[in-house]
Amino acid sequence: MRNPVRLAATVAIAMTMGAGAALAQAGDVNVYSYRESKLIQPLFDAFTKDTGIKVNVISASSGLEQRIKTEGALSPADVLLTVDIGRLEEAVKAGITQPIVSPALEKVIAPQYRDPEGHWVAISMRARVVYASKERVKQDAITYEELADPKWKGKICIRSGQHMYNNALIAAYIAKHGEAKAETWLRGLKANLARKASGGDRETARDVAAGTCDIGIGNTYYWALMINGGPAQKPWAEATRVILPTFEGGGTHVNVSGVVLAKNAPNKANAMKLIEWLAGDTAQHMYADMNYEYPLRTGIAVNPTVAGYGTLKADPMPLSKIATHKKAAADLVDKVGFDN
Protein backbone atom coordinates (compact mmCIF):
# COMPACT_ATOMS: atom_id res chain seq x y z
CA MET A 1 0.00 0.00 0.00
CA ARG A 2 1.32 3.45 -0.93
CA ASN A 3 2.26 5.85 1.86
CA PRO A 4 -0.71 8.27 2.09
CA VAL A 5 1.45 11.15 3.37
CA ARG A 6 3.92 10.74 0.51
CA LEU A 7 1.05 10.40 -1.95
CA ALA A 8 -0.54 13.61 -0.69
CA ALA A 9 2.75 15.46 -1.01
CA THR A 10 3.21 14.15 -4.55
CA VAL A 11 -0.29 15.25 -5.51
CA ALA A 12 0.30 18.69 -3.99
CA ILE A 13 3.50 19.13 -5.97
CA ALA A 14 1.81 17.95 -9.15
CA MET A 15 -1.05 20.39 -8.61
CA THR A 16 1.44 23.19 -8.08
CA MET A 17 3.25 22.32 -11.28
CA GLY A 18 -0.02 22.00 -13.14
CA ALA A 19 -1.16 25.40 -11.95
CA GLY A 20 2.20 26.81 -12.95
CA ALA A 21 2.00 25.34 -16.44
CA ALA A 22 -1.43 26.89 -16.89
CA LEU A 23 -0.06 30.25 -15.80
CA ALA A 24 2.76 30.28 -18.30
CA GLN A 25 1.47 31.80 -21.54
CA ALA A 26 4.07 32.52 -24.18
CA GLY A 27 5.35 36.07 -23.86
CA ASP A 28 3.62 36.85 -20.54
CA VAL A 29 5.81 37.67 -17.55
CA ASN A 30 4.98 35.50 -14.54
CA VAL A 31 5.77 37.18 -11.23
CA TYR A 32 5.82 35.43 -7.86
CA SER A 33 5.41 38.20 -5.31
CA TYR A 34 5.71 38.78 -1.58
CA ARG A 35 4.45 42.33 -1.99
CA GLU A 36 0.82 43.28 -1.39
CA SER A 37 -1.20 43.25 -4.61
CA LYS A 38 -2.55 46.76 -4.05
CA LEU A 39 1.02 48.09 -3.93
CA ILE A 40 2.28 46.48 -7.11
CA GLN A 41 -0.67 45.94 -9.45
CA PRO A 42 -0.68 49.58 -10.60
CA LEU A 43 2.96 49.14 -11.61
CA PHE A 44 2.22 46.03 -13.64
CA ASP A 45 -0.78 47.70 -15.27
CA ALA A 46 1.42 50.62 -16.29
CA PHE A 47 4.08 48.24 -17.64
CA THR A 48 1.48 46.44 -19.74
CA LYS A 49 0.17 49.75 -21.04
CA ASP A 50 3.70 50.83 -22.01
CA THR A 51 4.84 47.55 -23.55
CA GLY A 52 1.81 45.43 -24.35
CA ILE A 53 3.31 42.62 -22.25
CA LYS A 54 0.88 41.01 -19.78
CA VAL A 55 1.99 40.31 -16.20
CA ASN A 56 0.57 37.35 -14.27
CA VAL A 57 1.01 37.44 -10.50
CA ILE A 58 1.02 34.77 -7.79
CA SER A 59 1.16 36.33 -4.32
CA ALA A 60 2.00 34.73 -0.98
CA SER A 61 3.33 35.71 2.43
CA SER A 62 5.88 32.87 2.57
CA GLY A 63 7.21 29.82 0.75
CA LEU A 64 7.66 31.19 -2.75
CA GLU A 65 11.34 30.26 -2.93
CA GLN A 66 10.50 26.67 -2.01
CA ARG A 67 7.67 26.62 -4.51
CA ILE A 68 9.95 27.71 -7.33
CA LYS A 69 12.54 25.15 -6.24
CA THR A 70 9.91 22.40 -6.15
CA GLU A 71 8.61 23.32 -9.58
CA GLY A 72 12.14 23.01 -10.92
CA ALA A 73 12.63 23.19 -14.67
CA LEU A 74 8.84 23.27 -15.11
CA SER A 75 8.44 26.43 -13.04
CA PRO A 76 6.55 29.21 -14.82
CA ALA A 77 8.17 31.82 -12.57
CA ASP A 78 10.09 34.50 -14.43
CA VAL A 79 10.58 36.97 -11.60
CA LEU A 80 10.45 36.85 -7.81
CA LEU A 81 9.55 40.19 -6.27
CA THR A 82 10.19 40.62 -2.57
CA VAL A 83 11.09 42.93 0.28
CA ASP A 84 14.13 42.67 2.56
CA ILE A 85 17.71 41.83 1.73
CA GLY A 86 17.35 38.58 3.68
CA ARG A 87 14.69 37.20 1.36
CA LEU A 88 16.69 38.21 -1.69
CA GLU A 89 19.70 36.32 -0.37
CA GLU A 90 17.53 33.33 0.60
CA ALA A 91 16.40 33.09 -3.01
CA VAL A 92 20.02 33.01 -4.14
CA LYS A 93 20.91 30.33 -1.57
CA ALA A 94 17.92 28.26 -2.71
CA GLY A 95 19.49 28.04 -6.16
CA ILE A 96 16.46 29.47 -7.95
CA THR A 97 18.10 32.54 -9.51
CA GLN A 98 20.25 33.43 -12.47
CA PRO A 99 22.41 36.53 -13.00
CA ILE A 100 20.68 39.68 -14.19
CA VAL A 101 22.95 40.98 -16.93
CA SER A 102 21.96 44.54 -17.75
CA PRO A 103 24.28 47.47 -18.49
CA ALA A 104 21.18 49.69 -18.23
CA LEU A 105 20.58 48.67 -14.62
CA GLU A 106 24.26 49.02 -13.75
CA LYS A 107 24.07 52.66 -14.87
CA VAL A 108 21.12 53.63 -12.68
CA ILE A 109 21.27 51.36 -9.59
CA ALA A 110 24.27 51.92 -7.30
CA PRO A 111 26.50 48.87 -6.61
CA GLN A 112 25.52 48.58 -2.92
CA TYR A 113 21.95 47.91 -4.05
CA ARG A 114 22.87 45.09 -6.42
CA ASP A 115 24.15 41.58 -5.73
CA PRO A 116 27.89 41.42 -6.48
CA GLU A 117 27.24 38.36 -8.67
CA GLY A 118 24.16 39.89 -10.28
CA HIS A 119 21.57 37.55 -8.74
CA TRP A 120 19.33 40.33 -7.42
CA VAL A 121 18.78 44.01 -7.91
CA ALA A 122 16.97 46.46 -5.65
CA ILE A 123 14.27 48.67 -7.14
CA SER A 124 13.08 50.77 -4.20
CA MET A 125 14.28 51.63 -0.72
CA ARG A 126 12.92 52.33 2.74
CA ALA A 127 14.65 53.48 5.95
CA ARG A 128 14.29 52.17 9.51
CA VAL A 129 13.56 55.29 11.52
CA VAL A 130 12.21 56.69 14.79
CA TYR A 131 8.63 57.80 15.33
CA ALA A 132 8.99 60.36 18.13
CA SER A 133 6.27 61.92 20.26
CA LYS A 134 5.85 65.59 19.36
CA GLU A 135 4.92 66.38 22.96
CA ARG A 136 7.50 64.42 24.93
CA VAL A 137 10.60 64.22 22.71
CA LYS A 138 12.42 67.49 22.11
CA GLN A 139 15.58 66.28 20.39
CA ASP A 140 15.58 66.13 16.62
CA ALA A 141 18.57 63.80 16.12
CA ILE A 142 19.36 60.34 17.45
CA THR A 143 21.75 57.47 16.76
CA TYR A 144 20.88 53.80 16.68
CA GLU A 145 23.49 53.30 19.38
CA GLU A 146 21.59 55.75 21.61
CA LEU A 147 18.52 53.50 21.65
CA ALA A 148 20.29 51.50 24.37
CA ASP A 149 20.90 54.58 26.54
CA PRO A 150 19.17 54.18 29.95
CA LYS A 151 17.57 57.61 29.49
CA TRP A 152 15.03 55.83 27.27
CA LYS A 153 14.16 53.20 29.89
CA GLY A 154 10.50 52.28 29.58
CA LYS A 155 10.07 54.66 26.63
CA ILE A 156 10.62 52.59 23.45
CA CYS A 157 8.13 50.54 21.41
CA ILE A 158 9.14 48.16 18.65
CA ARG A 159 7.84 45.09 16.83
CA SER A 160 9.40 41.64 17.21
CA GLY A 161 13.15 41.47 17.00
CA GLN A 162 12.76 38.48 14.70
CA HIS A 163 10.74 40.43 12.16
CA MET A 164 12.75 40.88 8.97
CA TYR A 165 12.89 44.67 9.29
CA ASN A 166 14.41 44.56 12.77
CA ASN A 167 16.53 41.53 11.96
CA ALA A 168 18.18 43.52 9.19
CA LEU A 169 18.80 46.47 11.52
CA ILE A 170 20.41 44.20 14.11
CA ALA A 171 22.47 42.53 11.37
CA ALA A 172 23.66 45.96 10.27
CA TYR A 173 24.63 46.75 13.86
CA ILE A 174 26.65 43.52 14.00
CA ALA A 175 28.35 44.44 10.74
CA LYS A 176 29.25 47.83 12.20
CA HIS A 177 30.31 46.87 15.72
CA GLY A 178 30.72 43.11 15.99
CA GLU A 179 28.57 40.53 17.80
CA ALA A 180 29.78 41.29 21.34
CA LYS A 181 28.93 44.98 21.18
CA ALA A 182 25.69 44.19 19.35
CA GLU A 183 24.66 41.89 22.20
CA THR A 184 25.31 44.60 24.77
CA TRP A 185 23.35 47.08 22.66
CA LEU A 186 20.42 44.72 22.17
CA ARG A 187 20.23 44.00 25.91
CA GLY A 188 20.20 47.75 26.53
CA LEU A 189 17.45 48.26 23.95
CA LYS A 190 15.39 45.47 25.51
CA ALA A 191 15.76 47.08 28.93
CA ASN A 192 14.33 50.29 27.47
CA LEU A 193 11.16 48.75 26.05
CA ALA A 194 7.85 50.09 27.31
CA ARG A 195 6.05 46.88 26.37
CA LYS A 196 6.68 43.49 24.81
CA ALA A 197 8.24 43.67 21.35
CA SER A 198 5.18 42.94 19.21
CA GLY A 199 2.64 44.27 16.75
CA GLY A 200 3.58 46.17 13.62
CA ASP A 201 5.02 49.56 12.77
CA ARG A 202 1.58 51.18 12.67
CA GLU A 203 0.84 49.85 16.17
CA THR A 204 4.14 51.33 17.28
CA ALA A 205 2.98 54.78 16.15
CA ARG A 206 -0.37 54.16 17.82
CA ASP A 207 1.29 53.39 21.13
CA VAL A 208 3.52 56.47 20.94
CA ALA A 209 0.42 58.58 20.29
CA ALA A 210 -1.32 56.95 23.26
CA GLY A 211 1.59 57.69 25.60
CA THR A 212 2.65 54.08 26.11
CA CYS A 213 6.10 55.00 24.82
CA ASP A 214 7.93 58.14 23.70
CA ILE A 215 9.65 56.74 20.63
CA GLY A 216 9.06 53.80 18.34
CA ILE A 217 10.98 52.14 15.51
CA GLY A 218 9.28 51.89 12.12
CA ASN A 219 9.73 52.13 8.37
CA THR A 220 9.51 55.45 6.59
CA TYR A 221 6.58 54.57 4.32
CA TYR A 222 4.22 53.50 7.14
CA TRP A 223 4.21 57.00 8.63
CA ALA A 224 3.43 58.52 5.21
CA LEU A 225 0.62 56.02 4.65
CA MET A 226 -0.87 56.93 8.04
CA ILE A 227 -0.65 60.71 7.67
CA ASN A 228 -2.19 60.51 4.19
CA GLY A 229 -4.66 57.77 5.11
CA GLY A 230 -8.01 57.46 6.81
CA PRO A 231 -9.25 58.95 10.09
CA ALA A 232 -8.42 55.86 12.17
CA GLN A 233 -4.65 56.04 11.75
CA LYS A 234 -3.99 59.65 10.78
CA PRO A 235 -4.02 60.83 14.44
CA TRP A 236 -1.21 58.37 15.21
CA ALA A 237 1.02 60.09 12.66
CA GLU A 238 -0.14 63.56 13.68
CA ALA A 239 1.01 62.89 17.25
CA THR A 240 4.49 61.86 16.10
CA ARG A 241 7.29 63.03 13.86
CA VAL A 242 9.92 61.09 11.99
CA ILE A 243 13.57 61.32 12.99
CA LEU A 244 16.14 59.83 10.63
CA PRO A 245 18.62 58.05 12.95
CA THR A 246 22.18 57.30 11.95
CA PHE A 247 24.90 54.98 13.06
CA GLU A 248 27.79 56.72 14.79
CA GLY A 249 30.11 57.67 11.96
CA GLY A 250 27.65 56.31 9.41
CA GLY A 251 24.24 56.89 7.91
CA THR A 252 20.64 55.78 8.22
CA HIS A 253 19.96 52.05 7.96
CA VAL A 254 18.03 51.21 4.79
CA ASN A 255 16.46 48.10 3.34
CA VAL A 256 15.00 47.46 -0.07
CA SER A 257 12.43 45.77 -2.21
CA GLY A 258 14.02 43.94 -5.10
CA VAL A 259 13.77 41.36 -7.82
CA VAL A 260 15.47 38.16 -8.90
CA LEU A 261 15.36 36.55 -12.32
CA ALA A 262 14.19 32.97 -11.92
CA LYS A 263 16.68 30.27 -12.90
CA ASN A 264 14.31 28.61 -15.36
CA ALA A 265 12.42 31.72 -16.49
CA PRO A 266 10.43 30.65 -19.56
CA ASN A 267 9.96 34.26 -20.71
CA LYS A 268 13.40 35.63 -19.91
CA ALA A 269 13.50 38.37 -22.54
CA ASN A 270 10.23 39.94 -21.40
CA ALA A 271 11.14 39.36 -17.76
CA MET A 272 14.27 41.45 -18.30
CA LYS A 273 12.13 44.14 -19.90
CA LEU A 274 10.00 44.22 -16.76
CA ILE A 275 13.00 44.35 -14.41
CA GLU A 276 14.56 47.19 -16.37
CA TRP A 277 11.21 48.98 -16.56
CA LEU A 278 10.88 48.82 -12.77
CA ALA A 279 14.10 50.82 -12.55
CA GLY A 280 12.87 53.31 -15.15
CA ASP A 281 11.40 56.78 -14.68
CA THR A 282 7.72 55.81 -14.69
CA ALA A 283 8.01 53.02 -12.11
CA GLN A 284 10.38 54.94 -9.88
CA HIS A 285 7.98 57.88 -9.75
CA MET A 286 5.18 55.43 -8.87
CA TYR A 287 7.24 53.85 -6.07
CA ALA A 288 7.87 57.35 -4.70
CA ASP A 289 4.36 58.77 -4.95
CA MET A 290 2.10 55.73 -4.47
CA ASN A 291 4.11 53.61 -2.02
CA TYR A 292 6.10 56.40 -0.35
CA GLU A 293 9.38 54.56 -0.90
CA TYR A 294 12.70 56.08 -1.84
CA PRO A 295 13.43 55.68 -5.56
CA LEU A 296 16.80 54.15 -6.37
CA ARG A 297 17.17 55.74 -9.77
CA THR A 298 19.19 58.95 -9.63
CA GLY A 299 17.23 62.08 -10.41
CA ILE A 300 13.79 60.88 -9.23
CA ALA A 301 12.36 63.09 -6.49
CA VAL A 302 11.03 61.58 -3.29
CA ASN A 303 7.42 62.23 -2.35
CA PRO A 304 6.93 65.56 -0.51
CA THR A 305 5.69 63.78 2.64
CA VAL A 306 8.84 61.66 2.76
CA ALA A 307 11.01 64.66 1.88
CA GLY A 308 9.55 66.31 4.98
CA TYR A 309 11.49 63.88 7.17
CA GLY A 310 14.71 65.60 6.12
CA THR A 311 17.50 64.59 3.79
CA LEU A 312 18.19 60.86 3.93
CA LYS A 313 21.85 60.03 4.34
CA ALA A 314 21.67 56.32 3.60
CA ASP A 315 24.34 54.22 5.24
CA PRO A 316 26.78 53.18 2.50
CA MET A 317 27.25 49.62 3.76
CA PRO A 318 26.49 47.12 0.95
CA LEU A 319 23.30 45.20 1.66
CA SER A 320 25.05 41.95 0.79
CA LYS A 321 27.32 42.52 3.82
CA ILE A 322 24.31 43.03 6.08
CA ALA A 323 22.80 39.80 4.78
CA THR A 324 25.82 37.78 5.95
CA HIS A 325 24.96 38.67 9.57
CA LYS A 326 21.23 37.96 9.52
CA LYS A 327 21.49 34.51 11.11
CA ALA A 328 23.72 35.90 13.84
CA ALA A 329 21.15 38.63 14.39
CA ALA A 330 18.33 36.10 14.75
CA ASP A 331 20.40 34.04 17.18
CA LEU A 332 21.17 37.14 19.22
CA VAL A 333 17.48 38.04 19.51
CA ASP A 334 16.84 34.61 21.01
CA LYS A 335 19.92 34.74 23.23
CA VAL A 336 18.91 37.97 24.96
CA GLY A 337 15.24 37.01 25.07
CA PHE A 338 14.34 40.17 23.21
CA ASP A 339 10.79 39.11 22.36
CA ASN A 340 10.01 37.66 25.80
Specify whether 327 is located in the same domain as 182: yes
CATH of the domain at 177: 3.40.190.10
With bands split at pLDDT 50, 70 and 90, how would you rate the model's confidence at 298? confident
Q: Can you give the residue range of the structural domain that contains 172?
A: 126-253+314-335
The burial class, CB within 10 Å (0-12 / 13-18 / 19+), for 285 is middle
Domains contained in the chain, number: 2
Specify whether 82 is located in the same domain as 186: no
**Residue 23: is its pLDDT beyond 60?**
no
Specify whether 220 is located in the same domain as 298: no
**Residue 108: is its pLDDT beyond 90?**
yes
Alpha carbons within 13 angstroms on the beta-carbon side of residue 339 total 14
3 state DSSP class of 241: strand
Specify whether 118 is located in the same domain as 206: no
Q: Residue 169: inside a domain, yes or no?
A: yes
Q: Residue 19: inside a domain, yes or no?
A: yes
The predicted-structure confidence for 184-211, as pLDDT tens digits, reads as follows 999 999 999 999 999 999 999 999 999 9
Average pLDDT over residues 260-288: 97
Specify whether 326 is located in the same domain as 262: no
Q: Residue 232: inside a domain, yes or no?
A: yes
Specify whether 194 is located in the same domain as 273: no
d(CA 167, CA 186): 11
d(CA 161, CA 173): 13
Specify whether 195 is located in the same domain as 326: yes
**Residue 258: is its pLDDT beyond 60?**
yes
Q: Residue 340: inside a domain, yes or no?
A: no
